[in-house]
Amino acid sequence: MQPVDIVILANGPGEVATWVRPTVRSLRRQLGDDRASVRISLILSPCPHATGKEAAIARSYPQIDRVQDPQNFWPFLLSGKTAESWEWRSRGVVLFLGGDQFFTLVVAKRLGYRSIIYAEWEARWVPWVDRFALMKPEIGRRVRAKYRPKLTTIGDLIAEVAADVRESPNVSENNTVELIGLLPGSKPAKLAQGVPLCLAIAEILARKRPQTHFVIPVAPSLDLDTIARFADPARNPLLSRFGTRGAQLERSPEGEPQFLTETGVRIRLHTASPAYDLLVRCRLCLTTVGANTAELGALGVPMLVLLPTQQLDAMRAWDGLPGLLANLPLVGTGLAKIINGWVLRQGRLFAWPNIWANREIVPELVGVLEPSAVAREAIALLEDPERLEQMRDRLKALRGKAGAADALATVVRDELEKTEAN
């Protein structure tokens, strides 16, 4: 094969972790590791859900050769020039894995490459895009018949999460330790409420169920000092509103770091990423909304999804116009309260497994959440193994089969071969 470029467009932390990561591994498996023949570049676009660490995370993937940060996206889109003045090979493909599908058209046209869009919900710009990889066949039913040869159903890329899990004892087979995963979020707006809520719940559960162990899988975009700031009562006034005095960060050269709460509860801080082997050993996870619900769903891990509204103006990561309005300077705080109140009154589903199923598979607790009430719900689940197993089975059924990343890599290879033929 003549030298080619594969340009991947992506944006948020969920896409980088659950779409880009398995895809680039499959691309290298199928196309080889010779960078002189196949070069993979990732260009990130701005995202309201971004943590600011997406580029660093992507650079840790050995399959990717070049990464451009999102703050350089608009100059690139308008001028075609990257911040580091990348050169481009004469042949290649542009692969959409997050952001706005229209960007794929612009970049592919500018570079003279073929275009491929991974369509999770909808296939757009169909007449002008060369190929679509669909998450599910229903998406193709809305496409005119003459364009359907462009469509290939590959499945759900998030299902690849389950394929990443090495041989680990299943939680149902490991009854010696009752492990609870706490996922308070990765952005300051979520951590400000999520850390106090999780600490308070852990303290209650520890009193009621002393056999329980707790772990926080620290998001790869976070460092320990940052998450510790939200457990410090001198720096996070919301701790008192959730009825906890916070926790101290303890580091040990012999083991994992941990939080030690004022009441003596220890919570491990697991920093290796991805933490899939750990998560599958959790009997239950308490999690905020976001991409983590998709990953837990793909792993088949039962969860309680928490959306506290004690600080209503903190939620500013909605998609589209609501997200833009909520982040406006000066007036954003007031608009955020109005928008969030309106969104919450709609009765919509927030957890990805529930959105996919269009019904509540995992419980969502939304509102001014009291730690004692959440703890009671968690205990009710922990004391009902049949309900937990039913939740686990429904999540696995919803997940579908692995193999989407390999199928997508095959689509990319096919399109590259067409460029060689031309």
Please give the full DSSP string across 200-236, using - where no structure is assigned. HHHHHHHHH-TTEEEEEE--TT--HHHHHHTT-TTT-
Written as one letter, the residue type at 8 is I
144 φ, ψ to 5°?
-60, 145
Distance CA 351, CA 299 (A): 14
For 304-338, write each residue's pLDDT tens digit: 999 887 554 445 454 444 454 445 555 445 555 55
Stretch among 110-114, 146-150, 190-194 having the lowest mean pLDDT: 190-194
Distance CA 376, CA 201 (A): 9
Q: What is the chain's Cα-based Rg? A: 22
Structure tokens at 174: 């490991």
Cα 345 vs. chain centroid, distance in angstroms? 25
Written as one letter, the residue type at 106 is V
For 207-225, write each residue's pLDDT tens digit: 999 999 999 999 888 899 9
Instruction: Name the pTM for this structure.
Output: 0.77
Distance CA 182, CA 202 (A): 9
The mean per-residue pLDDT over the stretch 61-82 comes to: 95
Measuring CA to CA, which residue among 136, 131, 132 is closest to residue 121?
136
| DSSP conformation class of 376 | H
pLDDT at position 2 is 86
202 or 308, higher pLDDT: 202
- Domains assigned to the chain: 4-155+403-421 (3.40.50), 171-399 (3.40.50.2000)
CB atoms closer than 10 angstroms to residue 118:
25
376 or 357, higher pLDDT: 376
**Are the CB atoms for 307 and 362 separated by under 8 Å?**
no
187 or 248, higher pLDDT: 248
pLDDT band for position 108 (cuts 50, 70, 90): very high
pLDDT at position 252 is 80
Measuring CA to CA, which residue among 231, 217, 206, 225 is closest to residue 183?
217
Residue tagged 């193709």 (tokens): 140
pLDDT at position 200 is 97
The mean per-residue pLDDT over the stretch 226-251 comes to: 95
204 or 171, higher pLDDT: 204
pLDDT at position 368 is 86
For 367-397, write each residue's pLDDT tens digit: 889 999 999 999 999 999 999 999 999 998 8
